[in-house]
Amino acid sequence: MVPPPTDEIPGSQMAAKMARVLSEPDVHRAVELDKDDNAMDGLHRDLLARLLDASRSHDTQTAIDAALLGRSSRRR
């Protein structure tokens, strides 16, 4: 089950944080942004591991769609 998008999910506010760090440099915000990015990397690795698991119940097209959706969420 996919959780609904909220501010609690890393990546939901990353673009706004990046814009703030670029327009108003702040070390603490930059560190926070780096932590958020690392969390997103972890979520992406977990998604790929689940999609490529040999015991998966979905077909290849579903796995590809989910991987692309996961990748696009990083670009918001």
Q: Sketch the domain layout of the chain as residue ranges.
A: 14-73
Torsion of CA 28, 38, 10, 43, to 10 degrees: -170
Quick one: pLDDT at residue 12?
57
Instruction: Give residue 66's identity as a one-letter amino acid code.
Output: A
Spacing of C-alpha 23 from chain mean position: 23
DSSP letters, 42-66, are: HHHHHHHHHHH-TT--S-HHHHHHH
Residue 25, CB-side half-sphere exposure with 13 Å CA sphere: 0
Q: Mean pLDDT of successive 10-residue segments in the chain (76 residues)?
A: 48 76 90 87 84 81 82 60
Quick one: pLDDT at residue 52?
80
